[in-house]
């Protein structure tokens, strides 16, 4: 225990006493810069209490004229803010889980942060007792930048609250609200990224009052959340806000998304036709029309894009700096990585062995196999396709068809295998290599390959498949409350003892990283990445298997290097 911290905290406590307003009816309360917040005590899976604060605004809500603006600072609360329940989720069309989840309130006043603290570490502002400050796990949710929220229905804190860490989850503007880019001073794009940075800044200012250590923040996310976490870590706009990074099944160098103006113009074209606003009007008029448009109309445009493209619509964009917006992405993330951006952060990169298969139900629904048969070039990753020299595309397509589809036999499953290899596995390995080349801080790498027979996702989608799908790894440290139902002894992922042990292991692994900067207690079990890219193969609970690349992975790296070389000449 660090004595200096205790003293700092004691001083802070005196400055934040709660004597002025009545919080006696609150189970737990503390102060933020905006005023007092009232939370609840809830139960972790080990039966211990945690303090839970939900739906706290971390900025002024982007309503009306603020719709496409960078967030403004939060306004003071009137009285005590009731943070016992979650706030609204951001406007979205949840093509994946929406139909499976309980209806939730949705609105543009969704700029909210949730903070969960093991109760024994919560600073008791009434008795004035001071505690050890805990490291903070700051989580950015996934959902293709289209849907999702930081709410505990999907990111249940019940497992992580058995460890000595604080969990922070956030909402950020999604889809058209967060990522529409007109490339001008009215709507430059990337607001969703700026929102996450605003939330990180809020944590710096307020987390001490929740018992958190602002100097030990781990910036983390999965899928699109992993892309954002990693992108923020290489952004010039995020210095000093966190100490390390976890990018799980998503990172920002060549992978899932194309950050090009070319891609944005395709998406924008579909969008503007669908919503009936003329994009060729003067930019200010286009902006004003978009601000005046009802929420439902914008979401209708969003849905129109997804009907064509399947899963991905608006994404981040390489910015040209604009006067009233913080520039967060000045270059391709890979260029930033090559220049050494983010190299100071220890980083864990995670993958699942069968990432792509999660897309199966959705892509079947939008008849993706038929679309691919008509436009086989689309079997290539969008990031590659958009970056490639045009004349190379027929060659790239032929190579890709030969490798995955025996030239003509395009099936969804084969396509999804190529998505796993080309859009997840290879880019993650490439990032690890690039970090090594810049002399970066430790990089830890895992591939999750645990095969649960009765994983809640498998049950919900009625699917069987080899390996572990996208999302499965994190459901062993976030309780999937929406699917598992309320906690009982029977449903704690305890379809089998192994599931339950895997939950214990993954929860320990990620909290080890948050606490110590290393996922394993014994570094010999899981050393950081070296040139040969050996990684932790997670297949059995509590069994370390630090292993060399499989022949399949080696072939895949060669194959992808070849595609990149042809496409980009690098
Ligand atoms: C806070 O909100 C919850 C749910 O909306 C309500 O049940 C509770 O009474 C409120 N608490 C206070 C102190 O206002
Ligand atoms: C590939 O297609 C050819 C004919 O088009 C067929 O003879 C061959 O068996 C196929 N190979 C595989 C691996 O399916
Ligand atoms: C196409 O692939 C499927 C699945 O791998 C296989 O069953 C089928 O025989 C293949 N057809 C041809 C013509 O290669
Ligand atoms: C689940 O899939 C199996 C085989 O694919 C099928 O027989 C069964 O009817 C499906 N069940 C549901 C509830 O859809
Ligand atoms: C760490 O691992 C090494 C090699 O497997 C072993 O010899 C050592 O006992 C381990 N240390 C601890 C503390 O588990
Ligand atoms: C270790 O991982 C490799 C995959 O790289 C796998 O082939 C092997 O069976 C694993 N070993 C054990 C003991 O689980």
Q: What is the mean pLDDT of the chain?
A: 93
Same fold flag, 3-257+320-333 and 350-568: yes
Hey, what CATH topology would domain 3-257+320-333 get? Rossmann fold (3.40.50)
pLDDT above 90 (res 98):
no
- Quick check: CB of 406 below 6 Å from ligand 3? yes
Report which protein residue has its CA nearest ligand 6's atom 14. Answer: 545
Q: Which of 542, 545, 555 to mutate to test the pocket of ligand 6 (most atoms within 8 A of CB)?
A: 545
Distance of CA 390 to the CA centre of its chain: 32
- What is the per-residue pLDDT for 495? 59
| Alpha-carbon gap, residue 392 to 567, rounded angstroms | 6
Mean pLDDT of 261-286: 97
Report which protein residue has its CA nearest ligand 3's atom 6. Answer: 409
- What is the per-residue pLDDT for 418? 97
- What is the per-residue pLDDT for 298? 97
What is the DSSP secondary-structure string of 389-450?
-GGGHHHHHHHHHHHHHTTT---HHHHHHHHIIIIIIHHHHHHHHHHHHTTPSPEEEEEE--
Query: What residues does ligand 6 touch, defined as CB less than 6 Å away?
Result: 537, 539, 545, 547, 550
| Alpha-carbon gap, residue 70 to 67, rounded angstroms | 9
Mean pLDDT of 53-65: 98
The domain segmentation of the chain, as residue ranges, is 3-257+320-333, 350-568
Q: Give the pLDDT band of residue 29 (cuts 50, 70, 90).
A: very high
| Alpha-carbon gap, residue 359 to 462, rounded angstroms | 13
- What is the per-residue pLDDT for 15? 44
What single-letter DSSP state applies at residue 84? Answer: S
pLDDT above 80 (res 61):
yes
H or E element that contains 221: strand 212-222
Q: Of the given ranges (57-61, 63-67, 102-106, 140-144), which has the lowest mean pLDDT?
A: 102-106
* 223 noted as active-site residue: yes
Q: How far is ligand 6, taken at its centre, from the CA of residue 454, in Å?
A: 22
Q: What's the pLDDT tens digit per position in 552-566?
A: 999 999 999 999 999
Predicted TM-score of the model (pTM): 0.94
Q: Of the given ranges (173-187, 488-502, 522-536), which has the lowest mean pLDDT?
A: 488-502
- What is the per-residue pLDDT for 20? 54
Residue 249 CA: distances (Å) to CA of 355, 363, 398, 423, 509: 8, 19, 28, 10, 16
Superfamily the domain 350-568 falls into: Alpha/Beta hydrolase fold, catalytic domain (3.40.50.1820)
Mean pLDDT of 230-238: 98
Q: What's the pLDDT tens digit per position in 442-485?
A: 999 999 999 987 788 888 788 899 999 999 999 999 999 998 88
| Alpha-carbon gap, residue 510 to 508, rounded angstroms | 6
């Amino acid at each position: 225990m660090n004595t200096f911290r205790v003293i700092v905290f004691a001083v802070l406590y005196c400055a934040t006493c709660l004597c002025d307003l009545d919080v006696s009816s609150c189970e737990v309360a503390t102060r933020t810069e905006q005023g007092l917040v009232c939370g609840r005590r809830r139960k972790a899976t080990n039966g211990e209490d945690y303090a839970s604060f939900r739906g706290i605004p971390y900025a002024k809500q982007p309503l009306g004229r603020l719709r496409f603006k960078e967030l403004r600072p939060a306004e003071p609360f009137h009285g005590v803010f009731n943070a016992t329940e979650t706030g609204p989720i951001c406007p979205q069309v949840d093509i994946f889980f929406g139909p499976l989840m309980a209806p939730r309130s949705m609105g543009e006043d969704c700029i909210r942060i949730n903070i969960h603290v093991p109760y024994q570490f919560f600073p008791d502002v009434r008795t004035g007792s001071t505690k050890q400050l805990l490291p903070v796990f700051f989580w950015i949710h996934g959902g293709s930048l289209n849907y999702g929220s930081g709410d505990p229905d999907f990111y249940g804190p019940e497992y992580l609250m058995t460890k000595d860490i604080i969990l922070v989850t956030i909402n950020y503007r999604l889809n058209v609200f967060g990522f529409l880019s007109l490339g001008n001073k009215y709507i430059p794009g990337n607001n969703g990224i700026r929102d996450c940075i605003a939330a990180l800044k809020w944590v710096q200012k307020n987390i001490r009052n929740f018992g958190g250590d602002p100097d030990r923040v781990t910036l983390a996310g999965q899928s699109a959340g992993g892309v954002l976490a990693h992108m923020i870590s290489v952004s010039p706009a995020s210095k000093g806000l966190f100490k390390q990074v976890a990018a799980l099944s998503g990172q920002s160098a060549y992978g899932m998304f194309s950050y090009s103006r070319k891609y944005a113009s395709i998406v924008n074209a579909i969008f503007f036709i669908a919503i009936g606003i003329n994009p060729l009007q003067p930019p200010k008029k286009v902006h004003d029309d978009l601000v005046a448009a009802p929420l439902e109309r914008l979401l209708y445009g969003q849905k129109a894009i997804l009907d064509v493209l399947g899963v991905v619509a608006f994404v981040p964009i390489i910015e040209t700096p604009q006067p009233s917006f913080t520039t967060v992405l000045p270059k391709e993330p890979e260029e930033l990585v090559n220049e050494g951006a983010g190299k100071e952060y220890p980083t864990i990169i995670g993958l699942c062995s069968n990432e792509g298969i999660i897309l199966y139900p959705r892509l079947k629904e939008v008849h993706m196999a038929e679309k691919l048969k008509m436009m086989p070039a689309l079997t290539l990753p969008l990031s590659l396709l958009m970056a490639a020299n045009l004349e190379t595309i027929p060659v790239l397509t032929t190579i890709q068809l030969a490798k995955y589809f025996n030239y003509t036999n395009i099936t969804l499953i084969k396509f999804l295998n190529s998505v796993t290899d080309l859009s997840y596995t290879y880019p993650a390995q490439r990032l690890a290599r690039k970090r090594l080349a810049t002399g970066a801080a430790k990089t830890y790498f895992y591939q999750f390959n645990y095969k649960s027979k009765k994983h809640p996702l498998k049950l919900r989608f009625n699917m069987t498949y080899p390996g572990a799908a996208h999302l499965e790894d994190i459901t062993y440290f976030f309780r999937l409350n929406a699917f598992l139902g309320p906690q009982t002894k029977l449903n704690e992922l305890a379809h089998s003892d192994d599931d339950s042990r895997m939950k214990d292991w993954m929860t320990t692994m990620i909290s080890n990283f948050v606490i110590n900067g290393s996922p394993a207690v014994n570094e010999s079990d899981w050393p950081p990445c070296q040139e040969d890219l050996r990684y932790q193969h997670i297949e059995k609970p509590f069994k370390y298997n630090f292993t060399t690349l499989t022949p399949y992975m080696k072939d895949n790296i060669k194959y992808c290097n070849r595609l990149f070389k042809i496409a980009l000449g690098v």
